Structure 1
Amino acid sequence: MTAEQTQDLDPRFELARLIEEHQRLTGDSLQDIAKRGNIPKSTVQFLRRNGLQRMPERSNLEKLAAGLGHPDASVVRAAAQTACGWTRTETTLPSDPKARAIIAHLGELDERQLDSILALVEHWRRDNR
């Protein structure tokens, strides 16, 4: 296993992965994320840094979540993994039956179909900002 593959599996890099994945999918800069979240760019850079030594303030994580357009819980979870290696294994499904049906059928899709759905969802998210 390469160092990069090990880093991909290491929970200490989860928050950085979340931010980088958002940037890759949307083309947003750190400044774009900061502006949308009403948070200083330096704070976004700090939160993106690999291997946080402590859990960031909740208010900063909520602002980062707003900047990324992600639910607060997903950013807090990523920060917890990054700061202290904490992972959560149970999954909470949404109560909306349509959302549950979509999730239930994701495993039946091939890579191309998943890419298409992801692009569509990201497009809708950008339009709703």
Structure 2
Amino acid sequence: MADHGLARLIAEHQRKTRDSYRDIAERGGDALKKTMVGALATTDRPAMPKPEVLEALAHALGLPVEQVTLAAAESAGHAVPPEVHVYRERVPDSDEQVIMAGYERLSPDKRKALLALVKSMADDV
């Protein structure tokens, strides 16, 4: 495995979810392919992916697109100003990843019900 930010995000996701490259690619939709996920995770200095690939990968990993974009830019060897490093360390814990992965499989009605539940519970905090 390569040792750069994007590879670490993918590996961390796999460790928490046991997802394969294929699982990640399927969750990302048409813009993401299994070989692409594998290359991003194992190539020492991958090329900067296209925006649609970054969005699909962020969706598949359950991470903000800004965090995935930053990791990809650093992995490709681009200098990233320190002020944008706010996204570097934030990786959702396993509970958040399970919730986000489950959300993707819900029907629109169930998504509305879940949103209402979360809003009501957040108001109690």
Interval containing the TM-score (normalised by the shorter chain): 0.5 to 0.7
Q: CA deviation at 1:47?
A: 1.5
Partner of 1:26: 17
**Unaligned stretches of 5+ residues in structure 1:** 1-6, 94-116
The answer to whether 1:126 aligns with 2:74 is no
Q: CA deviation at 1:14?
A: 0.8
State the Cα deviation string for residues 64-93 of structure 1 (Å, max 9, x = none): 112112111111100001001533422688
TM-score, normalised to structure 2's length? 0.64
**Unaligned stretches of 5+ residues in structure 2:** 87-91, 105-125
SS at match of 1:75: helix
TM-score, normalised to structure 1's length? 0.62
Percent of residue pairs identical? 36
Take 2:95 and 2:34, find their aligned partners in 1: how far apart are those partners?
28
The answer to whether 1:90 aligns with 2:83 is yes
What is the aligned residue count?
A: 96
The answer to whether 1:43 aligns with 2:57 is no
Counterpart of 1:127, as a letter, is G
Take 1:57 and 1:49, find their aligned partners in 2: how far apart are those partners?
18
Take 1:123 and 1:54, find their aligned partners in 2: how far apart are those partners?
30
CA contact (8 A) 2:70 2:80 kept: yes
Partner of 1:17: 8
Counterpart of 2:60, as a letter, is G
What is the root-mean-square deviation of aligned Cα atoms in Å?
Answer: 2.5
